[in-house]
């Protein structure tokens, strides 16, 4: 929004002060870039990941606007901002305040030991897993924490769960079953079929009250070996017999 606002403001100021006409902007390619940006912005209403493509285009559009008349940013600031805000010492003071507050918040987040943000809740259950092992993180949102704790492991799911459909469309139903666990689900059958679709060495998932029945069932499954557990996650080793039987049933 900041980039989009800056592009719009500078372009309007150039036109309003008659330094550059709309015709000149069109001739310099701003119309094409602005049209693509508009389509991408509307596309975000349907797919939020469109932002990954939008912000580079906004940088290009901003560069195009500034190239028309480089002093436009300074002139616009003098018109819109009060005089005291343009003094360097106030600008540096505000910047220092923002950096101090954000640094303090980050330090507090890393130093606290509650279950929400302590990295040890993820490093300890994974510490005995050999490097390059295949970890089936049933919950896709586990990936950032697991990767931060053990970047040397290979994870089945990444930051974008929509890629699950591309790799194996049938696997979607297994992940959906975990998201909304039902007492009627046979978790032993679920495990066997899941490993058949995604062969792995280890299984990792969030701990939650609604998954108590599921976790109790998995704890009794002889095809799994408990590796580690914390307040946040539980990790199992998938015994070779499980993976082999799943492959034999293909």
Q: Tell me: the pLDDT tens digits for 195-229?
A: 999 999 999 999 988 999 999 999 999 999 999 99
Sheet holding 233-238, edge to edge: 154-155, 134-137, 202-206, 233-238, 224-229
CATH 2.60.40 is the classification of domain 120-248: no
Task: Give per-residue pLDDT as tens, 103-129.
Answer: 888 777 666 655 566 788 899 999 999
Most confident of 21-30, 75-84, 101-110, 130-139: 130-139
Mean pLDDT computed over 145-153 = 93
Q: What is the pLDDT of residue 127?
A: 92
The two structure tokens encoding residue 145:
């924490």
pLDDT greater at residue 42 or residue 87: 42
Task: Give per-residue pLDDT as tens, 231-244.
Answer: 889 999 999 865 54
Q: Which backbone phi and psi does 222 adopt, to 5 degrees?
A: -75, -10
Torsion angle in degrees (nearest 10) through CA of 29, 30, 34, 35: -40
pLDDT greater at residue 165 or residue 80: 165
Question: Which of 164, 166, 224 has its CA nearest to residue 190?
Answer: 224
3-state secondary structure of 152: coil
pLDDT greater at residue 23 or residue 113: 23
Task: Give per-residue pLDDT as tens, 39-70.
Answer: 888 888 887 778 888 888 888 888 888 888 88
What is the residue whose two structure tokens read 């290009």? 60
Q: What is the pLDDT of residue 116?
A: 62
**Mean pLDDT of the chain, nearest integer:** 84
Q: Is the pTM of this model over 0.75?
A: no
């Amino acid at each position: 929004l900041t980039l989009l606002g800056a592009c719009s403001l500078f372009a309007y100021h150039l036109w309003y002060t008659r330094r550059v006409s709309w015709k000149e902007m069109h001739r310099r390619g701003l119309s094409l870039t602005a049209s693509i940006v508009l389509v991408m912005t509307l596309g975000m209403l349907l797919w939020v990941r469109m932002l990954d493509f939008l912000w580079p285009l906004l940088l290009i559009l901003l560069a195009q606007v500034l190239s028309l008349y480089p002093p436009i940013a300074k002139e616009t600031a003098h018109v819109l901002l009060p005089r005291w805000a343009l003094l360097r010492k106030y600008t540096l003071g505000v910047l220092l305040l923002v950096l101090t507050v954000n640094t303090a918040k980050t330090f507090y987040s890393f130093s606290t030991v509650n279950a929400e943000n302590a990295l040890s809740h993820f490093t300890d259950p994974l510490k005995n897993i050999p490097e390059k092992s295949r970890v089936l993180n049933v919950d896709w949102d586990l990936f950032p924490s697991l990767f931060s704790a053990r970047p040397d492991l290979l994870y089945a799911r990444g930051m974008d769960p929509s890629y699950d459909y591309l790799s194996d469309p049938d696997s979607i139903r297994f992940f959906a079953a975990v998201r909304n666990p039902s007492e009627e689900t046979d978790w032993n059958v679920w495990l066997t079929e899941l490993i058949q679709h995604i062969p792995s060495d280890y299984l990792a998932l969030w701990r939650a009250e609604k998954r108590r029945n599921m976790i109790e069932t998995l704890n009794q499954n002889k095809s799994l070996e408990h590796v580690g557990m914390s307040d946040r996650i539980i990790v199992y080793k998938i015994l070779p017999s499980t993976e082999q039987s799943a492959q034999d049933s293909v």
